[in-house]
Every structure is written in structure tokens, then in C-alpha cells.
Chain A
Amino acid sequence: MIESRTVETVVGVFIALGLAALLMLAMEVSNLSTMGGGGDGYEVRVKFENLGGLKVRSPVKMSGVQVGRVAEIVYDSQVYKAVATLRINAEYDRIPKDTAAKVFTAGLLGEQYVSLDAGGEEEYLKDGDEITLVSNAVVLEQVISQFLYNKAADGTAEK
């Protein structure tokens, strides 16, 4: 039998190793380090006619930098629009009120995200505000049908 002090030390090393592996998984492998402490921050609402494939936890970006995430998506049957609640990290507290929100797709088939284009107003967005300048998600089927429609229209005009 090995001395109990050695056993205890080795077990201590084992537990520390296991916890270090968990920590490595949390910080390096998962998005825990990039979430920016979910608790602080503020929420703004956006009403979209169509938000395409946007999901809860989709990123919110400004100029390509992630500034927050989509916190909640509900359908408002009063105005027949989808209402997305965006949680913006607290450090980005100087977003003008007339900022425009668009739903974009990363790559041709990638995930969808909300892009914010900063406006020029002096007042900044606060918790509970609503972004009114909105452009909707591009739905691939609509683009294709529009393209075909235009083609057909061109064809008849030339004749």
C-alpha cells in the first residue's frame, strides 16, 4: 500500500486535472468566453415583417463585430409582425436612436444574424427602446422568383 499522503496528493492532482479539463472545455471550446456575461446589458426590440431563419441566440453585429445576441423572438398578432428582442452588451451603450436593423445571412447558406447600421442621432438607445428602421430577411425563394419575374418581363418588353 502506498503511503496515504502520496495517495491524497495524487488524487488532488487528478481532481485538479479534471477541473482544468472542464475549464478548458468551458473557456476554449465553448462560447462561454465570448458571451460577455449575459447578465449585464440592455434590451431593445425590433419588429420585422419577416425574420427568416433568425433564432434565439443568433448574433447581433455592428460593422461585423458582435455586440449582442437575440434574446427572444415572439409573434405579435396585433401588428402581424415578428418581434425580436436584442440583448446588447453593456459596453456598447452609444448606439444612436435612428440605427437601422437588418437581417443578414453569413455566407450563402450560413446562419442568419442581425446587423445594426449606426445612424446619426445624438440620443442613444436605452433599455426597452424600439428600433424602427428595419429591413427584413432576404428569403432566397423570393429573390429567385423576383429574378425570374424580371427576366420574363424583360423578355416580353424586347419583343
Chain B
Amino acid sequence: MKELILDFLQNLGRQGLEVFERLGRGHLFFFYVLTGTWDVLRRFRLIVAQVYSVGVLSLVIIVVSGLFVGMVLGLQGYNTLVDFGAEESLGVVVALSLVRELGPVVAALLFAGRAGSALTAEIGLMKTTEQLAAMEMMAVDPLHRVIAPRWLAGFVAMPLLAAIFSAVGVYGGWFVGVGLLGVDDGAFWSQMQDAVDFDDDIMNGVIKSVVFGVVVTWIALFEGYDTVPTSEGISRATTRTVVNSSLAVLGLDFVLTALMFNQ
């Protein structure tokens, strides 16, 4: 009996230590990549190529999802508001929920699924096939040459994707509300402009999406870099990327919202 309890405690302790060790390695990794940022900024092409694969290739899913999320918001908002005779406020409902919450959060979740998993698999395969080790042999720092441009690309692409998501969503809501359900066009836009504040709503949404972009790319790159070099290891790392970055986005969203909108 005593042995069993001791074993259990030892297991618990080992797992706890592993979690903290990974966290520590993750942070050291992040700071080391940050020190490489300056070098990469001078080799701009590396970043451009990554913005292409991280940002441009995510564009289709972002635009389509944004459109449908906006249209659903328009439909649902209209059905609720029409009971109070307040269907003119549809623009406010659509714009505020998109700009403050749905734009940054849903775009970040899609980004984690579309771009984050690809980053993890790519880096993981590079590690498994010892390409990263080969780079080190040639005195090229893989963290600065491979990881840093991908990190910067996520940092640049995520806010742009979130802004595109929100803008397309607003037009989707406008299409359903004004185009199909007959809300007054002028009231839709003017009430929206009255209620949405540039600093408090739009800029806070942008700040959120920047934070999400940094966190999602960081998790994706670290999981790839830290993967067990087998094919099973890569598949596990990819799953962990999507799960962990989605959880991080949702948790951080709550924290950021509590900090920003607590008047």
C-alpha cells in the first residue's frame, strides 16, 4: 500500500516536472527566436515567402467563414431584434460582435487549424529528417533562419486576416439584413457608426488579433521544434498544436476582454 502511494506521488511529480520543463523550454525558445528577429528583418524575402504560405493561403477559408458568420449573425440578430421593433440596430449587433470577439477569435482558431498545424508538421518533418541538424552543422542557426521568419509571418498575417474576417462579416450581415430582410440601409450603417468606437472597439480587436497571432505561431513552432522525431511524434505534435493554441486563444480572449472592456 505504501509502495502504491509512493509510486503515484512519484508519477505525479514526474509529470508535473515535465510540464514545467516544457514550459521553460518553450519560453527559452521564444526568447531565442526573438533575438533572431533583427537578423531576419534584413533578409526580407524569407518573411515574404512565409507570409505567402501562412497568410495568403489562409485567405480563402477566412473570407468564406467570415462571410457566413456575418450572414448568420445578420439572420439571428434580425429574428431577435424584430421582436422589439429594433431591427435598425442590426448593424450594431453584427459589427460589435464581429469586431470585438468573433473576428479575432474565430480567425485565430481557423488560423491555428489552417496555418498552425502546417507549420508544426513542416518544422517537425525538418527535425525528423535531420535538416535542422544539418543546418547547424553548416553553422546556420535554424532558429534564426527557419523559425524566426515563420514567427514574424504569423505576427504580420494574423491581424490582417482578422481584419479581413471582420470586414467581410460586416458585409455578410449587411447582405442578409439590408439585402434580404429589408432593414433600412442608412439606419444600418449610421447606427453602426454611432455605436462602434475606433479606439475602444476596433483597436482593441486589432490588439487581440496581434496577441493571438503571436501565441498561435509560437505554440505551433515550438511543438514542431520539440517534436519526438518519428512519424507518430509529428502527428502528436500537430494535434497538440491545434488543441493547445485553440485553448490558449479562448483563454487569452477572456483575459484580454476582461482587461479591455471592463468599464
Q: Which residues of A contact B (CB under 8 A)?
A: 4, 7-8, 10-11, 13-15, 17-22, 24-26, 28-35, 57
Contact = CB atoms under 8 A, between A and B. Distances in A.
A22 B161 CA distance: 10
A34 B49 contact: no
A65 B187 CA distance: 16
B159 interface: yes
B194 interface: yes
B201 interface: yes
A13 B59 CA distance: 11
A17 B201 contact: no
B167 A11 contact: no
Contacts of B161: 18
Interface in B183-239: 189, 192-194, 196-198, 201-202, 206
Given A7-B49, A26-B198, A32-B198, A18 B189 contact: no
B166 interface: yes
B56 A11 contact: yes
B95 A29 contact: yes
Given A25-B167, A29-B170, A32-B198, A19 B52 contact: no
B55 interface: yes
Contact of B52 (A7, A26, A32, A33): A7
24 contacts: A4-B45, A7-B48, A8-B45, A10-B56, A11-B51, A14-B52, A14-B55, A14-B59, A15-B51, A15-B156, A18-B55, A18-B163, A21-B168, A22-B160, A22-B202, A22-B206, A25-B170, A28-B189, A29-B95, A29-B192, A29-B196, A30-B202, A31-B193, A57-B197
B45 A21 contact: no
Contacts of A33: 193
Given A7-B52, A11-B48, A30 B160 contact: no
A21 B196 contact: no
Contact of B49 (A4, A20, A29): A4
Interface residues of B, number: 31
Contact of A30 (B49, B159, B193): B193
B242 interface: no
A15 B164 CA distance: 10
Given A29-B193, A31-B194, A32-B198, A14 B56 contact: yes
Given A29-B192, A31-B198, A17 B164 contact: yes
Interface in B133-172: 156-157, 159-161, 163-164, 166-168, 170
Given A29-B99, A30-B193, A18 B52 contact: no
Interface string B38-62: 0000000100110110011001000
A33 B55 CA distance: 29
A18 B164 contact: yes
Contact of A17 (B95, B159, B160): B160
Main secondary structure of the interface of A (DSSP, over half): helix
B175 to A, nearest CB: 14
Given A17-B160, A18-B164, 7 more contacts: A4-B49, A10-B56, A11-B52, A17-B59, A28-B189, A31-B198, A35-B198
Nearest to A20: B167
Contacts of A14: 51-52, 55-56, 59, 157, 160
B160 A18 contact: yes
B167 A24 contact: yes
A30 B201 contact: yes
Contacts of A57: 197
A91 B70 CA distance: 38
B167 A21 contact: yes
Contacts of A35: 198
A25 B193 contact: no
A55 to B, nearest CB: 10
Nearest to B205: A25
